[in-house]
Structure 1
Amino acid sequence: MTHPLVPATLAFRGDGTPYSPRFDDIYHSASGALAQARHVFLGGNQLPQRWQGQRLFTILETGFGIGVNFLATWAAWRADPGRCERLAFVSVEKHPFAAADLGALHDKLVAGTTIAPLAAELVKAWPPLIGGIHRLSFEGGRVTLTIVFGDALEWLPKLWLRADAFYLDGFAPAKNPDMWAPSVFKSLARVAGTFATLATYTCAGDVRRGLEAAGFACEKAAGFAGKRDMLAGRFAPRWRVRRHEPPLPFSVVQRHAVVIGAGMAGCALVERLAARGWQVTLLDRNTRMASEASGNPAGVFHPLLSRDESVATRISRAGVLLALQSWRALEARGHDFARTDRGLLHLPADAHEARSLADAIDAYRYPDTFVRHVSSIEATDLAGVTLGRDGWFYPRGGSLDPASLCAALCAEAGTALDWRAGARVSRIEREGSAWSVLDESGHVLARAEVVVFANAHEAARIAGLRHAPTRIVRGQLTRLPIGTDLRVPLIGEGYAVPLPEGLLAGATYGIDDADSTSRELDDAENIARLAQLVPAWAEQLAALDTSALASRVAFRCVTSDRLPMIGPLADEALCAQHASALAGAWPLDLHRSPGLYGAFAFGSRGLVWSTLAAELVASQLEGEPWPIERELAEDLDPARYFLRALRRGSVQPS
């Protein structure tokens, strides 16, 4: 459950040191934040020496505060010619600053220093104050900040990563004892890498004893700025402290992956893998990218809200925020995919939906920059057409051209992408350490140690999964020669998206309907819903000749729980041989098919979920911190249906 955030208060002591009235403590020594970060946290963890020559180095921090430890680490990484290829910094903050306050703090602390440009980048990328995990990327993705807005006691057990170093930087133990609780130290031990180190400015006896009880060997070191001692340590457990080892990268001889499916899901994977140095072969049965549902003229994107913080709500919120960051980066590099920037309006279908949305917004206190209620007058002003009812406005929502986005994602991959059109994949075979991807005649289309299925309702069949039920949903869109005055996309019962030459309305929802021909009845259904959405257009819509309208049919893929399939695939045959032992298994207990991953069954939320799915799969492959909490990723695990069958005792060895 995501709880409403209580932001930090911007305050200073008389000497200009940032101060927390809530905890009655300072954010850093009066002798200097940067100097303290370099001495205590970089020096205490023997950085930059320890990251040199590494592909990935991961740091976990308790207490982000004003972000100086991150900025100092980022600056040290930039200045080090022997730096690791990728630096992953993860930090938890219960009371984050708003972006404007963070910028004001940095103006006082780092103005005129070489770190000032980095601080400006951080503030520009700073997420809205919404609880949960936010992934920020810098240096073309080589430096990531995974910032968690929430209570460390709640969130540290949910993170999944392998930490090489720990920065313990909460307020003083006497001021904020929760940050130094034994449960916190146990959470650190759960994700500590084999040679992990730690550092903290405090030398309190309770802290040292708590860390040692959790498996860390600690010793005193010279403190900073007149403080006699600090603690430095290393992970040295005297006994087994965890059931599962923290994640490692998938071991490959060659960093080459085959991605099957060239829609939104597949193209997002291409870009994310190429950004990490992978060569990618992209296969699709069609002659061009984005030929199926991703070829629709436009798609809408917006968060999903609910009173109960459902799984779909949580992944949609994380997905839309991550996607927006990715799209802004693409646009900054010159790509254009017709993304609208005026927001999106949600008009509830009835009083029940209106109450549900209002309750969700009230409960979690979403910032106005994320979603806000608008009166019928303001809604009309935003839309440019008379609407006659209240709604909710998503300033960050909108629409874009999915096919153009797919092209931009693949263009970013450059020479790392080998695109093969008209490749009709029929099955896969394991040969040694690699997988052969075969067509219907048995011809090898591609071969690699990693294969990712992003081909919607064909994925489970080709991957040989018996417990990954998916269904197709037929959707028909209708293009209308009206609505050129509409300023923002509208959603409700159906949706309306302004196009340069008119309006896109839709879409129908036909489960298990495989008919690809356009139907005049479906166009009439889209028009009827649009007339309810915008009554001011009713007369114009009634006068249209439905037989002359242009429409498009595409097929979505859904699961019975309407959640996507994202992550490593289970080795169902091997698991079945050990079915009785796995009757009480959890996802991490399952045997996985080495190198096989899925990113499919996105339904109508491909724009919102594809970036998050690609980032999650890439992080799993690379052994990087996951961009969402482990329990949420497990809700999306392609093996979740198989796991339920194991627990029911309905899996038999084949």
Structure 2
Amino acid sequence: MTDPLIPATLAFRDNGTPFSPRHDDIYHSAVGGLAQAQYVFLQGNGLPERWQNRRLFTVLETGFGMGINFLMTWAAWRADPARCERLHFVSTEKHPFSRVDLLAAYAAVVSDESISALAQSLADAWPMLVPGTHRLEFEGGRVTLTLAFGDVTQTLPTLWLRADAFYLDGFAPARNPEMWSPAIFKSLARLAGEGATFATYTSAGDVKRALTQNGFEFRKVEGFGWKRAMLCGYFAPRWRVRRHEPPAPLAVQERHAVVIGAGLAGCALIERLAARGWRVTSLEKHAAVAQEASGNPAGVFHPMLSRDDSVASRITRAGFLYALQRWDALARSGHRLTRGAGGLLQLADNEDEAHLMAEALAKFGYPSDYVTSVEKAQAERLAGLTLAQSGWFFPHGGWIEPASLCAAQIAAAGETVERRFGVEVAKVERAGDEWNVLDADGATIVRAPVVIFANAHQAARIANLEFAPTRSVRGQLTLLPTGSVPSLGMPVIGEGYAVPLPDGVTLTGATYDLDDPEPSLQVAGHLENLERITRMLPTLANAFDTQHAQALAGRVAFRCVTSDRLPMIGALADEAAAVCDADRLRGAWPLDLPRAPGLYGAFAYGSRGLVWANLGAELIAAQIEGEPWPIERDLAEDLDPARFLLRALRQGTVR
């Protein structure tokens, strides 16, 4: 279970230097935080010279603190005409500041106006203080900050990236020994790229020994301010001990990708790849985007809560927060999204669940802008109707029209996208360093080094995946006409959901009919939807009978789900190669599996496409580009399309 996140306490010494009462240590030298960052971390790592004329450069920092090192690195990148094309800055922090305290700290210690402007941008984008990995983007995505909130001993081993430079910036080893433990340096060595450099203000003997034991060469140089010495150096192991090399970009002749499917999954991928300069060919069997489940009039979005902060809770939390960021970025760029405002209310199934979840939320200490437990009377004030139970309020949850999101993402991708509709893909075949995408007659539709399957039910079949247990779920929505039911103040979900749309219509649903291929509306489906919402909203009891239900409008769509109800996101396995090597791979881990070069999947999103699509697209783009992953590696492995093959190998059932 994830530990609660405890924010930092802002305090100052008499000389105005910010310090941590928890560790009784200062955040930076009294001589000045900006100057210390420049001397110790940038100059100590040979920056900006080392990133010049490179496509990608990644900095990994231990201890984000006030973010001064990030701000100075960002400023140096902006000022460098030969800067790298994309700068990734990854940092860990056990006790992050609140936005208010962060701004107060900057007001006290940052006097340079150019840095102040960057500090304001960082504070404006500052994430909710919940555990996990948070991805923030600046400069149109060319500068990316990935923050891992949590204990460094737990977060650092879950990161997956290739570091070019390390900023070792925890509190002093005597004050915060966990930050300088042998396990930390072992994790750093696992992530170090060839020739990766490091710098740190400390020169303690234990730190020097840990560096040497993990393959780093160091030298002692003059320290900053009143400090006599500091360390800097580089990764130069005398022997290879890593089981897996850190991620690297996919080797391609041309940065051209084919995305099959133009629903929520496919459009998110198109936007994320185009943002990195890829040429994308979009193939869609229908005549327009968002024609299947993504064509529903609205969908609700919210994180999933559990009393043990399960894998599903952690993944939906990451996806929810990242989706909000991406949608806001689209809106700021002038792209229109049709969405509701004011939050979302989730009702408990019964009083016992309400009580247990309220206890769990209090234990996790989530901030109120993430979720709040609400009593029944308060919930009724929010909803504007009588409710069956109390529940939880998500201030940033709500509803959105998926088609408007897809259209915005395609528009944001611009002219780098070739859109081809009415194209039915039958299979793909390897041809040299590329993939041929073929139709039913065996004719080549397009060739590219990268193909991504974002076409739900058809993905596993076209990709020829045997170990991909997906099923179809029929979902029927019901539209209650204007004036037929009292208006809700916000979406209410529970056993079902009720969403107030702008035209006065209330959307309810959806049925969950496994392996039911019926495409037409069914009266029984309408009645099922009505029965569920009347259990949630007693005011609506007897509002409709069977005769009325026959006249109701609605929509049928088919969701694709896996047996574990998690999506399939990431690189596809080379199943044939794995089967041939089944005995050796019986004890394999995900990174041991052979992969089909350039093939990826983004499907089986079920009813959570709005929450998962953007994060899934960012994860796949990062895997292709060799960038830091946007979520913890263990979570990415829970989404890995090869996870079912891996289970079969471990169980010895692959022959």
Query: Shorter-chain TM-score: what band?
Result: over 0.9
Partner of 1:603: 606
Does the alignment pair 1:456 with 2:456? yes
AA aligned to 1:570 is: A
Contact 1:307 1:363 in 2 (8 A): no
Q: Alpha carbon RMSD of aligned pairs, Å?
A: 1.2
- Return the offset for 1:351: 3.0
The 3 A distance-change label for structure 1 pair 484 and 46 is farther
The answer on whether the counterparts of 1:87 and 1:143 sit within 8 Å (CA) in structure 2 is: yes
Question: Residue type of the partner of 2:473?
Answer: V
Displacement after TM superposition at 1:131 (Å): 1.1
Return the alpha-carbon distance in structure 2 between the equivalents of residues 498 and 115 of structure 1: 44
**Residue 544 to residue 382, structure 1, CA distance change in 2 (3 Å):** farther
Who is 2:491 aligned against?
A: 489
Match of 1:79 in 2: 79
Question: Who is 2:650 aligned against?
Answer: 647
The secondary structure found in structure 2 opposite 1:115 is helix
Shift of 1:112: 4.9
2:521 match: 518
What are the equivalent positions in structure 2 for 1:547-626 lying under 5 Å apart? 547-626=550-629
Q: Which amino acid aligns with 1:193?
A: G
Give the drift of 1:389: 3.3
Contact persistence 2:389–2:536 (CA under 8 A): no
- SS of residue in 1 equivalent to 2:555: strand
TM-score, normalized by length of structure 1? Answer: 0.98
Distance in 2 separating the partners of 1:650 and 1:27: 54
CA contact (8 A) 2:382 2:490 kept: yes
Deviations 1:48-79 (A, max 9, x none): 00000111100000010000000000010011
Q: 1:208 to 1:444 in 2, by over 3 A?
A: same
Tell me the residue number matched to 1:634: 637
Query: Counterpart of 1:223?
Result: 223
SS at structure 1 position matched to 2:253: coil
Residue 431 of structure 1 is matched in structure 2 by 431
SS in 2 for 1:245: coil
Cα deviation for residue 357 of structure 1 reads 2.4
CA distance in 1, matches of 2:97, 2:239: 40
CA contact 1:306–1:356 (8 Å) conserved in 2: no
Q: TM-score, normalised by structure 2?
A: 0.98
- Cα offsets for 1:448-500 (capped at 9, x unmatched): 00000010011000001111110000000010013462121110010011112
Q: CA deviation at 1:645?
A: 1.3
CA distance in 2, matches of 1:544, 1:247: 60
Q: Secondary structure at the match of 1:583?
A: helix
Residue correspondence of structure 1 range 320-331 to structure 2 within 5 A = 320-331=320-331
SS in 2 for 1:250: coil
2:591 maps to amino acid: L
> Is residue 360 from structure 1 mapped to residue 353 from structure 2 by the alignment?
no
Amino acid at match of 1:489: P
Distance 1:180 1:380, change over 3 A: same
| TM-aligned CA deviation for residue 341 of structure 1 | 2.0
Tell me the distance in 2 between the aligned counterparts of 1:414 and 1:227.
Answer: 52
Work out whether 1:117 is the aligned partner of 2:117.
yes
**Partner AA of 2:538 in structure 1:** P
Contact 1:380 1:388 in 2 (8 A): no
State the distance in 2 between where 1:16 and 1:351 align.
51
Match of 2:175 in 1: 175
**Higher mean C-alpha displacement, 43-52 vs 440-449:** 440-449
The 3 A distance-change label for structure 1 pair 388 and 603 is closer
The one-letter code matched in structure 1 to 2:438 is: L
Shift of 1:218: 0.3
Conserved? CA contact 1:377–1:388, under 8 Å: no
Does structure 1 conserve the Cα–Cα contact (< 8 Å) formed by 2:349 and 2:389?
no
How big is the shift at 1:541?
A: 3.4
C-alpha distance in structure 1 between counterparts of 2:49 and 2:242, whole Å: 28
Displacement of 1:5 in angstroms is 1.2
| Kept after mapping to 2: 8 A contact 1:425/1:437 | yes
Structure 1: distance between partners of 2:19 and 2:32: 13
Structure 1: where are the runs of 5+ without partners? none
Distance 1:534 1:255 in 2: 52
Query: What is the CA–CA distance in structure 2 between the aligned matches of 1:649 and 1:205, rounded to whole Å?
Result: 48
SS at match of 1:312: helix
Do residues 390 (structure 1) and 390 (structure 2) align? yes
- Change in CA separation of 1:543 and 1:109 when aligned onto 2, cut-off 3 Å: farther
Q: How many residues align?
A: 652
| Shift of residue 260, structure 1, vs aligned partner | 0.5
Q: Where do 5+ consecutive residues of structure 2 fail to align? A: none
Q: Is the 8 A contact 1:244 1:588 kept in 2?
A: yes
Deviations along 1:134-178, one digit per CA (max 9) or x if unpaired, are 111111111111101111111111111000000000001111111
Q: Distance in 2 between matches of 1:341 and 1:544?
A: 34
